[in-house]
Chains A and B, each alone.
Chain A
Amino acid sequence: MPVVQIEKAALCQCLNRKDFTDDEVDELCFEFGLELDEVTSEREMLAKEQGDAKAAQMGDQLSDAVIYKIEVPANRYDLLCVEGLSRALMVFQSLAQPPLYKAVQPAAGMKQMRVAPSTAQIRPYVVCAMLRNLSFTPASYKSFIDLQDKLHQTICRQRSLVAIGTHDFDTLTGPFLYEALPPSDIVFKPLNQTKEFSAVELMQLYSGESHLKAYLPIIRDSPVYPVIKDANGVVLSMPPIINGDHSKITLNTKNVFIEATATDAHKASVVLDTLVCAFSQYCSEQFTVEAVQVNYPDGRASIYPSLAYRQVDIQVDYLRKGVGRSDSQLTIDEICNRLTRMCLVAKATSDATVSVTVPPTRHDVLHPCDVLEDLAIAIGYNNLEMSLPPTLCTGKQQPLNSLTDKLRLEVAFAGFTECLTFALCSEKDISERLRLPLDSLPAVRIANPKTLEFQVARTSLLPGILKTVHSNRSLPLPLKLFEIQDVVYKSTDSSGSAVNSRQLAAVYYGKSSGFELIHGLMDRIMQVLGVPVDQYKLSATEVATYFTGRCANVLYKGSSVGTIGVLHPETLAQFDLTLPASAFVFDVEKFL
């Protein structure tokens, strides 16, 4: 979950509570669905990252003011900055009314953004907006940059879906053009550089920059790169990589031009709404944003930001039942009041329905159930009256799991100890180390393992048990181990799926091979499974895992359900084992 930092003093001020304690803040966060992750300060954070000595050395440059690190839910983009978070809490505490955000079209006409057809090849959408007469403070400026960064990391999926560029409008001249050009045709001075580079050079330059190199693959292999220019050909940005230096915003910027390019038009609009809603409070005309017109090649014109307010009519009965309260316990007025505290302005439209206005900050509201959750939060989850569901059912086990548990007990009764090993392992574990060719195994292969230990799903329980023997070879001998778990096989049909198979494997490891003991355990298992003696027998075979002439198929009703034998000395060597061992492996599901 994303984390937002907010100074205690700022939070106290907006919540009008000078004496707020950390516990009270924690409590408020908990109630609202946030998590107070850490109480810290600039100095403490630096000390944690770079050591106490460094923090001490910085002296007065670091502030000791208390900072709260607050985790916000992953779908609440509106809470990703101090502005949005504190406003939501103010409204929740009934200290403010939900603001009314407006997109206005200037009398002199809207600024224009023309989209060239070439962008369809790489990044087809752009949305724009203008924040007029804005005054930044150092804190709000930093927050503005931070929010863009947080949006890039979350809803924008590391800029792949949406990339935001913000510009000092007073350095630019409209109308603007969004096009896609061959990399060598894009030449400009990028942010914080002193000279011009071509896009080709930039890709080279940034391949060594830790914070930018992750974004390069989004466009690198495309024949054309997206670029936004003003009427004089000044480059605003080359999304999703870098902005131009010419139009960069500063603390003194008054008019901020925002563009967001995207592969997903809806998300671009959500991102733009989120950004302008949070920062329009610093405009001379609060909560008001100047609209920009985007003209697509097919003649379609769209006006952004959308800042749409959506009306949802909800049955009061649905809300009452959802929180388990009757008409008298929860009046329509109370419902409306409580929803308003969640920034969802609600009005009764009849005795039976409320009309809820979903603001442009609440793109997380998709369905009345989202409104229901907000109502429950406003009432307080822990104020709801618990009751048991009236659902009467009979408990029932899966037959396979029931059989498994009974077998586990029997094998443990027989003196064997249960291991629990991983379902994922290396290719080598199931092939080379068991002396089996990899291509003979129906193994499920993992595409993106972080280590060699997760290359495949296991096709045998033996490697896990033998590794366990290896880690425990200093214990008194003999070691008698077993495991009953699932292995996974690729389906043989064309379904493209895979199946689990419940297996039982046991290993005896000691001074002698102990085959008669492993054989005895198999006999015992057949006995407790109620298998008549004439339905079960061992029949000599050769499997490379086992020693030549010391391996048999376990036949049940004439077909093989597993193998048993003395392990091959080279199998033992693969697991770095120096003493002999016997083992069996068989399919439990055959006995269901």
Chain B
Amino acid sequence: MEDLRSNILAYIDKHETCSSTELCKEMNVEHQKIVGALNSILAFGEIISAQPEVTSRLELTDEGRQVADHGSHEAVLFASVPAGDGAPQSELMKSVPNAKIGFSKALANRWIRLDKSAPGGPRVYRQVESVSDRIRHCLQMVAALSLDSLTAEERAELKKRKLVQEGRVTVYRVAKGPAFTLTLAKEETELTAEMLATGVWQTLTFKAYNFKALGQQPDCGHLHPLLKVRAEFRQIFLEMGFQEMPTNRYVESSFWNFDALFQPQQHPARDAHDTFFLTEPAACRLDAEQADGYLARVKAVHSNGGYGSIGYNYDWKESEAQKNILRTHTTAVSARMLYQLAQQPQFQPTKYFSIDRVFRNESLDATHLAEFHQIEGLVADYNLNLCHLMGIIREFFHKLGIRRLRFKPAYNPYTEPSMEIFSYHEGLGKWVEIGNSGVFRPEMLLPMGLPESVSVIAWGLSLERPTMIKYGINNIRDLIGPKVDLKMVSVGPICRLDK
């Protein structure tokens, strides 16, 4: 094989171009072998070029191939007949392959004669000294694809004897390629430590790399997309100088979740349809809140008003405030933090944020779960107003890459004025609500003991909604919970909210 390849390359070097049949004749090998050698050279790269041309040619049948290798049946039979004494016909018929055809053809060619009356049965004798096996010669020419010397009669005879048949043969036009060489080196696939150590890499050729194939995935862990978005929001708050609130408290009293926020006890949000109440622990003690009179001040502002308010005019019950719930918003923690702020000897302007879970006993659907994450920011300072609230919200959303904002009057029990935040969604071509905000009511802040001139502005949004938009997720169960496809977790891009 290697000799054949070198011979072919040498021939092409001399002749620049040739056909595969030409090579057949020149090398005296069958066409198939030439084609095999050409393919093996092609595998080394652009050493040669080979253009296929399909032609219709005579090709050997299985019987024809046998004849080309061993001689025609008649020649074989002739050779089996000993010169001089001859041999019994019955013996020849038994020992020689294809004896029947060989016998009749040899007889017709007058190569042999039959003596039917010889003693011991009919006997065959040679009639000529030697024979020329034209049939075999013709078949060898067919195999070498040199058919020019074959006469029409010979073709017809070979076909008739089913030694050849018409077939389709692919012949190649071969020429030098851009990287033509006479010596074929083996191509390397990998650069190895050994090659570097021995310096052999300098003489080796390397197999072309398939850049269209995929690389092998690194074996790594992944962070959950929702928490990647959470990290980004935390980063934004920290860049804006906000301090994180301790929100690791899922169980909250109704007092801090509702009453402290001036949310009346008959408010629908406090209904069992919206809020998870507990059987264990069902209620908590409000000793600390009672100790400094805060509880009494909250009771008073709900039932009779005060601080410039007429209040809600109802019978406020401490037992209702003691009921434990799973917090419905992180604003319960904000209330605790503002209360602590009010207990300082001197009020310090403050910016707080939190991102954590809240719980609602709502009907579940594709976008609602019983638990979700609330993002909340608030600023407490002297004389803050609506303009500051809108200003800080604009700054916050700019950092998320959201620029077109507008504000709609809204109602929240614990903020006044209140504003819903809308942004223009280019994809939907309309304004969509992206958050809620407001100025905390004096009925909430003043009983805590904050100075009258201090205002607290706050805004909030859910973490799930922007994450679902960011990662193109339509069903919230595909994002959170045990049914999440971890493939989604591993293929999610890093989170850059402003991109």
List A residues at the B interface (Cβ < 8 Å).
30-33, 35, 73-76, 154, 157, 161, 264, 266-267, 310, 321-324, 364, 366-370, 372-373, 376-377, 381-382, 384-398, 400-401, 405, 408-409, 411-424, 443-450, 453-454, 457, 464-465, 467-468, 470-472, 475, 479-482, 486, 488, 490-491, 494-500, 502
Complex-state Cα separation, A324 to B419, whole angstroms: 16
CB distance from A424 to the nearest CB of B (A): 6
16 further A-B contacts with Cβ under 8 Å, apart from A367-B441, A395-B239, A448-B277, are: A32-B409, A33-B408, A264-B266, A266-B313, A366-B310, A367-B308, A367-B309, A367-B416, A386-B394, A389-B381, A392-B349, A412-B223, A420-B227, A444-B251, A450-B363, A475-B486
Chain B contacts for A465, CB-based, 8 A: 482
Specify the chain A residue showing the minimal Cβ separation from B439: A369
Bound complex: CA A17 to CA B484 (Å): 53
Contacts of B391 in A (CB 8 A): 386-389
Separation of A319 and B489 alpha carbons in the complex (Å): 51
- Indicate if the CB atoms of A496 and B282 lie closer than 8 Å: yes
Q: How far is the CB of B239 from chain A (nearest CB, A)?
A: 7
The distance in angstroms between the C-alpha atoms of A467 and B482, with both chains bound, is 5
Binary CB contact string for chain B from 236 to 257 against chain A (1 if under 8 A, 0 otherwise):
0111111111101111010000
A436 and B487 CA atoms in complex are apart in Å by: 32
Assess the B417–A387 pair: CB atoms within 8 A.
no
Given contacts A377-B409, A422-B481, contact A389 B249 (CB under 8 A): no
Nearest opposing residue in chain A for B221, CB measure: A412
Q: Which residues of A contact B419 (CB under 8 A)?
A: 381
List residues of chain A with CB within 8 A of the CB of B276: 424, 446-449, 454
Given the interface pairs A369-B439, A412-B221, the reply to whether A468 lies near B486 with Cβ below 8 Å is yes
Contact, CB under 8 Å: B379 / A479: no
Q: Assuming the A-B contacts A73-B410, A323-B386, are A420 and B224 also in contact, with contact meaning beta carbons closer than 8 angstroms in the complex?
A: yes
Residues of B335-392 contacting chain A, CB below 8 A? 349-351, 357, 359, 361, 363, 369-371, 379-381, 383-388, 390-392
Query: Are A486 and B248 in contact, CB atoms less than 8 angstroms apart?
Result: yes
For the complex, is B100 an interface residue (Cβ under 8 Å from A)? no
Partner of B280, one of A30, A393, A400, A445: A445
Contact A415 B219 (CB under 8 A): yes
Q: Are A413 and B410 in contact (CB under 8 A)?
A: no
- Establish whether residues A157 and B268, one from each chain, have CB atoms under 8 Å apart when the complex forms: yes
**Given A395-B243, A475-B487, A500-B248, does the pair A373, B314 have CB atoms closer than 8 Å?**
no
B414 CB to closest chain A CB, in angstroms? 11
User: How far does the alpha carbon of A513 sit from the alpha carbon of B108 in the complex, in Å?
Assistant: 86
List 7 A–B pairs whose Cβ atoms lie within 8 Å, in order of A's numbering: A31-B409, A397-B244, A415-B221, A422-B369, A444-B278, A480-B221, A498-B281
A234 to chain B, nearest CB (A): 33
* Interface contact A471-B442, CB-CB below 8 Å: no
Would you give the shortest CB distance from A181 to chain B, in whole angstroms? Answer: 26
* Shortest CB distance A375–B (Å): 9
Q: Which residues of A contact B322 (CB under 8 A)?
A: 496
Chain B nearest CB, measured from A329 CB (Å): 12
Q: A446-B277, A471-B482 are in contact. Are A424 and B409 (CB under 8 A)?
A: no
Which chain B positions have C-beta within 8 A of A364? 411
* Given the contacts A387-B391, A457-B326, A496-B282, A418 and B224 also touching, CB distance less than 8 Å: yes
A443, B280: Cβ atoms closer than 8 Å:
yes
Q: A397–B238 contact, CB under 8 A? A: yes
Contacts of B224 in A (CB 8 A): 418-420
Name the B residues within 8 Å of A370 (CB-CB): 416
Contacts of A494 in B (CB 8 A): 285
Known contacts A366-B311, A389-B384, A490-B280: does B484 contact A419 (CB below 8 Å)? yes
In the complex, what distance in Å separates the CA atom of A266 from the CA atom of B447?
23
Asked if A414 and B361 make an inter-chain contact with CB atoms under 8 angstroms apart, the answer reads no
Complex alpha-carbon distance, A506 and B123, angstroms: 97
What is the distance, in angstroms, from B232's C-beta to the closest C-beta of chain A?
A: 12
- Decide if B388 touches A423 in the complex (CB within 8 Å): no
Asked if A393 and B371 sit within 8 Å, CB to CB, the answer is: no
The answer to whether B173 has its CB under 8 Å from any CB of chain A is no
Top 3 closest pairs, chain A to chain B, by CB: A33-B409, A467-B482, A324-B387
Judge whether A419 and B239 touch: CB under 8 Å. no
- Residues in A with CB closer than 8 Å to B395 are 388
A381 to chain B, nearest CB (A): 4
Q: How far is the CA of A128 from the CA of B381 in the complex (A)?
A: 47
What 0/1 pattern do residues 455 to 481 of B give for CB contact below 8 A with A? 001000000000000000000000111
- Minimum CB–CB distance for B248 against chain A, Å: 4
Per-position contact with A for B46-61: 1 when CB-CB < 8 Å, else 0? 0000000000000000
Q: Which residues of A contact B331 (CB under 8 A)?
A: none
Per-residue A-contact encoding for B213-226, CB less than 8 Å = 1, 0 else = 00000011111101
The interface residues of chain B lying within 8 Å CB-to-CB of A381 are 386, 390, 406-409, 419
Provide the bound-state CA to CA distance between A411 and B227, in Å: 14
